[in-house]
Amino acid sequence: MLRDSFGRVATDLRVSLTDRCNLRCSYCMPPEGLDWLPRPELLSADEIVRLVAVGVGRLGVTEVRYTGGEPLLRRELTDIVARTAALRPRPRISLTTNGIGLVRLAAPLAEAGLDRVNVSLDTLEPETFRRLAHRDRLTDVLDGLASAGAAGLRPVKVNAVLMRGVNDREAVPLLRYCLERGYELRFIEQMPLDAQHGWRRENMVTAEEILARLREEFALTEADPAERGSAPAELFSIDGGPARVGVIGSVTRPFCGACDRVRLTADGQIRNCLFATEESDLRTAMRSGAGDDELAERWRAAVRTKKAGHGIDDRSFLQPSRPMSAIGG
Ligand code: SF4
């Protein structure tokens, strides 16, 4: 078990497969991109699968989410998913993606054993997309979403981040778009994880504001909190259900007390929290010949020191030096 000193047990492993991305969303990285991790530092597909197998077989991991950067850019993704699906006990396997490339990959990934996708979609306006992501790829994202649904990757979940003065007028259009297509939409408060360190709390569109805007158009009823478990989204049924919308108040309504996550970066570092300032280097240990028992013990030790929460509101809060693209969202 991956138990921390507060008694929380990590069962949800998020694995970043690459720090590269084909978009440049302003809340993540600058338009010119970043210095990517040198290739020799990246875990190979074999190394990824070995560490995931240690997590699943020895440490109680039950959910594996592949992230990035943009995980669809990792050429061996389908193979990694297939080998993950062959592990016993079989974990649930999901993918967080910007959707570009799903037209080609959704069906092979579903066949390989992928269970679900979360696709980031912050705007339906081509000009706003270009401004926000510095690329003209909105159509690719929307087509990717449709392909995910057609491939049976249900429910198709959509993640949206609203930014003041950029796309905050789009809460209702985004929800209508998702409702019409049977996608489950979740709004996520923007967190201080951008490489440019440009996040300001006062610019963040809060969960409260998002709900107020949605309530102007829809009747929202809070779902039974017991259903939420350790999931970060507060769920609301829309106009009596069954359709629902989620709001993730990562900053103003933190859910760290129920956190069940642990992260593995693309270069083989265990991070016990999105905002951890320390990492545990499994790559060097593995490449120096550590066996699975030793890797599992190092991993357990890394989780034991997990802090109570992100502490974004503490005066002493320090944004992690690695940007989100290198940590895995
Ligand atoms: S901020 Fe850290 S402790 Fe809080 S939910 Fe996220 S990963 Fe878990």
Full domain range(s) for residue 182: 2-327
Cα–Cα distance between 73 and 325 in angstroms, integer?
Answer: 13
3-state SS, residue 220: strand
Q: In which element (H, E) is residue 286 found?
A: helix 282-287
Beta carbon of 263 within 6 Å of any ligand 1 atom: no
CA of 286 from ligand 1 middle (Å) equals 26
Nearest-CA residue for atom 5 of ligand 1:
256
- 289: Cβ contacts below 8 Å, ≥ 6 apart: none
Torsion sign over Cα 99, 101, 104, 105: negative
Ordered per-residue pLDDT tens for the chain, 329 residues:
999 999 999 999 999 999 999 999 888 888 888 889 999 999 999 999 999 999 999 999 999 999 999 999 999 999 999 999 999 999 999 999 999 999 999 999 999 999 999 999 999 999 999 999 999 999 999 999 999 999 999 999 999 999 999 999 999 999 999 999 999 999 999 988 877 788 888 888 999 999 999 999 999 999 877 777 677 889 999 999 899 999 999 899 888 999 999 999 999 999 999 989 899 999 999 999 999 999 999 999 999 999 999 888 777 787 887 777 777 76
pTM: 0.94
Beta carbon of 276 within 6 Å of any ligand 1 atom: no
CATH of the domain at 199: 3.20.20.70
CA of 264 from ligand 1 middle (Å) equals 14
Q: pLDDT tens digit string along 45-99?
A: 999 999 999 999 999 999 999 999 999 999 999 999 999 999 999 999 999 999 9
Q: pLDDT tens digit string along 192-213?
A: 887 778 888 888 899 999 999 9
CA of 250 from ligand 1 middle (Å) equals 9
Using the atom order of ligand 1, give the atom closest to the CA of residue 310: 1
Tokens for 128? 């706003």
**Counted domains in the chain:** 1
Using the atom order of ligand 1, give the atom closest to the CA of residue 274: 7
Nearest-CA residue for atom 1 of ligand 1:
310
CA of 77 from ligand 1 middle (Å) equals 26
Instruction: Name the packing angle between helices 138-150 and 126-133 (round to 10°).
Output: 100
Please provide the DSSP assignment of 135-184 as one string.
S--HHHHHHHHHHHHHTT--SEEEEE--BTTTTGGGHHHHHHHHHHHTPE
Most distant pair of Cα atoms in the chain: their distance? 59
Cα–Cα distance between 94 and 141 in angstroms, integer?
Answer: 17
